[in-house]
Amino acid sequence: MITQIKILLDMIKIEHTVFALPFAFMGALLAARGLPGGRQAFFILLAMVGARSAAMAFNRLVDEPFDAQNPRTKDRALPRGLVSRGATVMFILASAALFIFAAARLNRLCLLLSPLALGWVFFYSYTKRFTALSHLVLGAGLAIAPAAGWLAVRGDLTLTPLALSAAVLFWVAGFDVLYSLQDDEFDRRAGLFSLPSRLGRAPAMRMALLFHLLAATGFLLTGWLAGLGLLYFTVAALTALLLFLEHRLISPTDLSRLNHAFFTVNGLVGILLGAATLFSVWP
């Protein structure tokens, strides 16, 4: 059982929780105008881990037929038979239960909205079958994180968390377009939809750049709405430069540095903005 759990955690890339987690805590920090309570922070963490784990495992489950055909993904755990579909279903149910339990411990509104959040992130896994806007659907899924962090503390929504959620939506959509560049030929053959497979690499990269310009604007707008100081705006400007660097690391004919662009740069964006928000509101 321990071996199966390790395989499942590796399959869903549990370490990539770093992409969404800082933004959930940013929402909580801004709502509390300081540090949220330890109990709130603990259940926000549990909710984020549960929701992302359920969503990623569900994505791997429904995409298994395509993963088995794609040279890049054919060695994943499910296509290779390292973990069973039954075990994956149990993992999804356990992760979803953890998310709903954590939401219930935060407040009633979080509990009521938790099935909708799960439904949206599960829905994303089917969107590549019928729309090239699947990148924006994924972005909207991760954009739930900052709004949820705010709701966990205050139980309402204002323009501040909505601006942050919009920024996250376009940030995720942009880097997902770039990540999908490596599968454009397979997606065309398999009849799957993505911007690179439908528009071509160069036009898709221009769309990704537009998404990241919107994201950078959204991060700056969040700081203005929240009344944050020079530190936050300096870091927000730095993250905009990092996103620009991400686009300079790759080209339509050279994806050799894609992993650096995807993992290193985007991991830094979340960590830097989260730290800047923390030190901006910490009394």
SS (H, E, C) the chain: CHHHHHHHHHHCCHHHHHHCHHHHHHHHHHHHCCCCCHHHHHHHHHHHHHHHHHHHHHHHHHCHHHHHHCCCCCCCHHHHCCCCHHHHHHHHHHHHHHHHHHHHHHCHHHHHHHHHHHHHHHHHHHHCCCCCCHHHHHHHHHHHHHHHHHHHHHCCCCHHHHHHHHHHHHHHHHHHHHHHHHHHHHHHHHCCCCHHHHHCHHHHHHHHHHHHHHHHHHHHHHHHHHCCCHHHHHHHHHHHHHHHHHHHCCECCECCCHHHHHHHHHHHHHHHHHHHHHHHHCC
Q: Report the candidate in 131, 162, 134, 161 with the shortest Cα–Cα distance to residue 27.
A: 161
Residue 260 has pLDDT above 80, yes or no: no
Q: What is the pLDDT of residues 148-160, one digit of tens each?
A: 999 999 999 999 9
Instruction: State the CB neighbour count (10 A cutoff) for residue 113.
Output: 15
* 56/10 Cα distance (integer angstroms): 11
User: What is the homologous superfamily of the domain 2-281 according to CATH?
Assistant: UbiA prenyltransferase (1.10.357.140)
106 touches 40 (CB < 8 A): yes
Q: Which residues pair with 251 in a beta bridge?
A: 254
Q: What is the pLDDT of residues 135-192, one digit of tens each?
A: 999 999 999 999 999 999 999 999 999 999 999 999 999 999 999 999 999 999 999 9
- Tokens standing for 17? 């929780």
> How large is the average pLDDT for residues 182-210?
96
Q: What is the pLDDT of residues 114-138, one digit of tens each?
A: 999 999 999 999 999 999 999 999 9
